[in-house]
Amino acid sequence: MTIDPKTIDSLAEYLESAELEAREVVKITDAHPQLTLDDGYAIQAAIRARKQARGHQVAGLKAGLTSRAKMKQMGVEVPVFGLLFDYMSIANGGEIRTGELIHPKVEAEIAFVLKAPLRGPGCHVGAVLAATDFVVPAVEIIDSRYENFRFDLVSVVADNTSSSRFVVGSVARGIEGMDLRTLGMVMEKNGEVVAMAAGAAVLGHPAEAIAQLANHLAARGEEIPAGSYIMSGGATEAIPVAAGDSIQVRFQDLGSVSMRFV
């Protein structure tokens, strides 16, 4: 850690206020170029503590920047991990108020729900599949608090990996007989196809993202608890949306997920 607890708290306040006030800010490494990835995760943990102190609960976990398309789009080489909170969950088919967001983008994801805890180190795709209760289709709405989505790895981790809203579809399926690598997703914006992908776009297999999350948490003495909802990361690049837009993502074998931006 290169910063003291007071600086961690003040950077958490800086980023969380930007989120809650839907206001973009300068990336934190401009003023603090010495920050490390561990510092970024410490700031993210301080944001979690601030939300929990106000009565919010963690509703899930996420891996981000897990596809080549996303890594290329954002100019990074490794995945990141973040938190989803209760107020971020929007019903399938529901409305998302853009006035509460800065510059939202959407991405199609496969989400996992676990029936057993997952603990690293050494967690792998096989262990994730054995611990999976079912998978559900999902769309994540990301909304970096940084100007023009311009950030580095440390800054985006501190900003809770741009978590903002998420929508979960209503078809849940056990993974028996499913090949998540070839599972297709087609995203339509206002009725036009804007992105498509297969599950393998996420680190070769979306379960790999969950394994990497378990290994990341293990290095911090934590595990993924049974019952957790975890988003494996956008298979497609992220698509910008604005008020008036409708998004529908059709998932092979998993139904569809839709929302309207108002």
Residues at the site binding ligand 0L1, with contacts judged by CB under 6 A:
62, 64-65, 70, 74, 80, 140, 142, 144, 149, 156, 161-162, 233-234, 238
The one among 234, 236, 249, 259 contacting Mg ion by CB under 5 A: 234
Q: CB of residue 63 vs ligand 0L1: minimum separation in angstroms?
A: 7
Residue 28: alpha-carbon gap to chain centroid: 20
From the list Mg ion, ligand 0L1, none, partner contacted by residue 104 (C-beta under 5 to 8 A by kind): none
The answer to whether the CB of 14 falls within 8 A of the CB of 25 is yes
Rounded alpha-carbon distances, angstroms, from residue 167 to 26, 43, 251, 256: 28, 26, 13, 11
The one among 35, 39, 44, 64 contacting Mg ion by CB under 5 A: 64
Neighbouring residues of 12: CB distance < 8 A, sequence distance ≥ 6: 43, 46, 47, 49, 50, 158
Q: CB of residue 143 vs ligand 0L1: minimum separation in angstroms?
A: 8
φ, ψ of residue 246 to 5 degrees: the values are -115, 140
From the list Mg ion, ligand 0L1, none, partner contacted by residue 156 (C-beta under 5 to 8 A by kind): ligand 0L1
Neighbouring residues of 43: CB distance < 8 A, sequence distance ≥ 6: 8, 11, 12, 15, 28, 157, 158
From the list ligand 0L1, Mg ion, none, partner contacted by residue 80 (C-beta under 5 to 8 A by kind): ligand 0L1
Nearest to 160 by CA among 262, 81, 251, 104: 81
The residue (of 130 and 141) whose beta carbon lies closer to ligand 0L1 is 141
The residue (of 71 and 171) whose beta carbon lies closer to ligand 0L1 is 71
Q: Contact residues for Mg ion (CB under 5 A)?
A: 64, 140, 234
